Amino acid sequence: MLNLNIDGFPNLALPPAPGRVFLVGAGPGDPDLLTVRASRLIRSATVLAHDFLVPDEILNLAPHHARRIFVGKKGGGFCSPQREIESLLIAEARAGNDVVRLKGGDPFIFGRGGEEAAALAAAGIPFEVVPGVTAALAAATATLTPLTQRGVASSVVFLTGHEDPAKPETSIAWEDYGRLGATLCIYMGMKNLETILRRLQAGGLSAETPAAVIQNASTPAQRRLVSTTGRLALEAEHAGFGAPAIVVIGEAVRTAEHLAQLAAAARDEALALT
C-alpha cells in the first residue's frame, strides 16, 4: 500500500541536492601562506578530507562540527588509494555535504587534483579548484633562491621524482633536463635522488652545478643543505634529509648564497644604527 500525504499523493523520498567539492591547496605548511579563499572555505566546511602534510594549525581552522576524514598520502607510508578518495568525495557530495578536499601545496601541481576533478565532473558533482602556494615556490622564497633571474636563469622546471609505481619505467628523460640550463625543482625526489642526479650528469649537467635540498619549507622544522650535483645525494643521506623536501638545482642556488650574505650584512648594519 502506498503511503499517501494529506493531498492524496504518494510520499516520495527525494534524494538530497548534491553538495559541492572544493579542491583546495593548503600551501606548504605555514598557515600564513593560505589564500583568503582557502581560509574561508576551511572555516565553513561540513566535511574536511585532508592529506598527511596539512598541519594541525590549518585543520583547526575548521568548525568543531566539521567531520575530518584523513585520506593520508605520505611517501613510504600509509596511502589511501586514489580511486577510494574519489569515491569518497562523490559519496559525500551526493549526501548533500559541502566537502573541502585539502591538499598540501597546490592541487594541480603533483597533487592529483586533475584526476579528482575529472572524477567529479564525470559524476556530475559541482566542484571548484582553489590554488595554493606550491612547495617549490615556498622553498625558494624561504631560502632567498630566485628561481629565475636575468643573466642567471631564464626558465624553471617542476619535476617529480616519484611517478606512478604501476608504470613499467619512468617517463622523465632526465638526461634531456641535464642539458636544459634551467633551474630544476624536483618534488618527491629524495628516495631516488642518487639515480636522478646521476642521470642529469649523464645528460651533460656538470657535477659542480650548485644544488640544494630544502626540507619542511616554510615551517619551523625547515632546514637546508647546499652542495653540488655530484655530492648532494651522499651528503643529504649522511645529514638525514628526507621527505617532504624540494631539491633545487642550478645557478639560482649560488645566487641564494650571495643574497643571504647581503641580507645578513643589511641586518647587521640596521642593528648597529639602533
Among all residues, which ones are annotated catalytic?
51, 73
**Helix axes of 113-122 and 82-94: crossing angle, nearest 10 degrees:** 40
DSSP classification of residue 38: H
Which residues have a Cβ under 8 Å from the Cβ of 53 and sit 6 or more positions away?
Answer: 26, 29, 73, 74, 104, 105, 244
Cis amide bond preceding 244, omega within 30? yes
Longest dimension (CA), the chain: 90
**CA atoms of 225 and 261, how far apart (whole Å):** 16
- With 0-12 / 13-18 / 19 or more C-beta atoms within 10 angstroms meaning exposed / middle / buried, residue 56 is exposed
Bridge partner residues of 178 (DSSP): none
Amino acid at 22: F
